[in-house]
Structure 1
């Protein structure tokens, strides 16, 4: 994964090194509507194999999203947001 990875919110620990999943945290800014966020995440699920693990909505309207997918033998690519 690239340097775009950010620190996970408190309580979002994602298992140990033997886990079968890889995770990527994303931050969606407040100007991204719920419908747009839903469509972006659906596209990542369809073409990138990612699934939604957690979402946290903040008072300012921003969202922190945690995506996961099963680890594969091929190198991982991050969702393009």
Structure 2
């Protein structure tokens, strides 16, 4: 299983993204229950939600997961 994380952009002048995305790629030789277990673990412990699952010809599966990016703003000025 291969995991790819696309973090949200940050810094001055970049557009504010509301979600960051994680792509889980499962090869045809891996069992489906093990893939579902990994998706459930990411959802439960990493606060990810399943956005889309795709089954390709040949048996490869891709799961696109997302989670909301929490922006923290400073409320106390020190100077």
- When normalised by structure 2's length, the TM-score is 0.64
The structure richer in strand per residue is: 2
Segments of 4+ moved more than 2 angstroms: none
Distance 1:73 1:47 in 2: 20
- Structure 1 gaps of 5+ residues are 7-16, 75-81
Aligned positions of 1:35-54 closer than 5 A: 35-54=33-52
* Residue aligned with 1:40, SS: helix
The answer on 1:5 being equivalent to 2:10 is no
More contact order relative to length (CA 8 Å, sep ≥ 6): 1
- Structure 2 gaps of 5+ residues are 6-14, 73-79
Q: CA RMSD in A?
A: 2.2
* Residue aligned with 1:30, SS: coil
- When normalised by structure 1's length, the TM-score is 0.62
1:65 corresponds in structure 2 to 63
* Residue aligned with 1:31, SS: coil
* Residue aligned with 2:4, SS: coil
Indicate the structure (1 or 2) with the bigger Cα radius of gyration: 2
Q: In the TM superposition, what is the alpha-carbon distance from 1:31 to its structure 2 partner?
A: 1.5
